């Protein structure tokens, strides 16, 4: 069982149900994209999978490589191999990138084992070089004073250091210029392989020119209404989201 399996997931905030009977399976080794207009549940999906306490799951199940995910604390899900690249990564003043990542890497090691400092820094610098991040950033407080683009790059740095099994990228491309976009995409592409499953959540098709997906799903009103290959993204771009509401989800709003 090597997949992230989302089965009939319904979730929302308070009284409002946002995800409605949402199902999707992301096998290891593949990149799946979800596209959809705002308000359709993309962020809810990301946050619910990560275990954000504001979101209530009303029904459904999620399995990561056969292990039930719902009901686990956010940090337990992360240690199981789930990674969320946030749309709006927050600042953590006073906590340096180096220390933060070291603590995160340490959290995954068995009790008593310590992160080997030189090996850790070597890796960290390697990844930062790949992402064209100035090595001086290791000492800077996490995301403090970072531009949107710098924050997103930092998310990818974290992903590279933590080596998750499944990564959910929540609108990583928002706020990025073309150069930053290319660097981020390159980072993700370097990680692609049989050990990683990726879910790219995006509003625009452009990112998918650089991170070419194996499958594209269109989301509307809390569920997937159409799935296809990478060309579906181009079709969506050409025809717009109105096409979705008119043709693909006529019974909905």
Q: Which of residues 180-239 bind another protein (CB under 8 A)?
A: none
Instruction: Tell me the β-bridge partners of 55.
Output: 13
Picking from 36, 9, 44, the residue whose alpha carbon sits closest to that of residue 24 is 9
50/72 Cα distance (integer angstroms): 9
48/53 Cα distance (integer angstroms): 8
- Whichever of 93 and 250 has its CB closer to another protein, that residue is 93
- Whichever of 143 and 205 has its CB closer to another protein, that residue is 143
Among 13, 70, 98, 104, binds another protein (CB under 8 A): 104
52/16 Cα distance (integer angstroms): 16
Q: Is 55 helix (H, G, I), strand (E, B) or coil?
A: strand
Q: Which listed range, 86-94, 129-137, 169-177, 227-235, lies at the site for another protein (CB under 8 A)?
A: 86-94
Instruction: Tell me the β-bridge partners of 44.
Output: none
The tokens of 54 are what? 């504001």
Task: Decide if residue 70 touches another protein (CB under 8 A).
Answer: no
Task: Decide if residue 103 touches another protein (CB under 8 A).
Answer: yes
- Whichever of 94 and 110 has its CB closer to another protein, that residue is 94
Binding-site size, another protein (CB under 8 A): 30
- Give me the residues that bind another protein (CB under 8 A), please: 50-53, 73-75, 77-79, 83-84, 86, 89-95, 99-101, 103-104, 107-108, 141, 158, 162
């Amino acid at each position: 069982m090597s997949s992230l399996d989302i089965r009939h997931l319904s979730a929302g905030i308070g009284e409002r149900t946002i995800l409605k009977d949402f199902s999707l399976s992301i096998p290891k080794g593949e990149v799946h994209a979800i596209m959809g207009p705002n308000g359709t549940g993309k962020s809810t999906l990301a946050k619910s999978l990560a275990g954000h306490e504001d979101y209530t799951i009303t029904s459904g199940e999620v399995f990561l490589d056969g292990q039930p995910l719902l009901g686990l604390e956010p940090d337990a899900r992360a240690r199981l191999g789930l990674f969320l690249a946030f749309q709006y990564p927050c600042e953590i003043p006073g906590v340096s990138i180096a220390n933060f990542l070291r603590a995160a890497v340490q959290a995954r090691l068995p009790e008593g084992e310590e992160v080997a400092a030189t090996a850790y820094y070597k890796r960290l610098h390697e990844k930062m070089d790949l992402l064209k991040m100035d090595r001086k950033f290791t000492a800077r407080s996490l995301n403090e004073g970072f531009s949107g683009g710098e924050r997103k790059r930092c998310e990818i740095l974290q992903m590279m250091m933590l080596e998750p099994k499944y990564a959910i990228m929540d609108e990583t491309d928002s706020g990025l210029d073309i150069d930053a976009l290319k660097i981020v995409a390159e980072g993700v592409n370097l990680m692609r392989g049989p050990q990683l499953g990726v879910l790219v959540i995006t509003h625009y098709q452009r990112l998918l020119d650089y991170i070419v997906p194996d499958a594209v799903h269109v989301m509307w009103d809390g569920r997937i209404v159409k799935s296809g290959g990478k060309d579906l993204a181009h079709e969506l771009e050409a025809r717009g989201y109105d096409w979705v509401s008119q043709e693909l989800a006529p019974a909905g709003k």
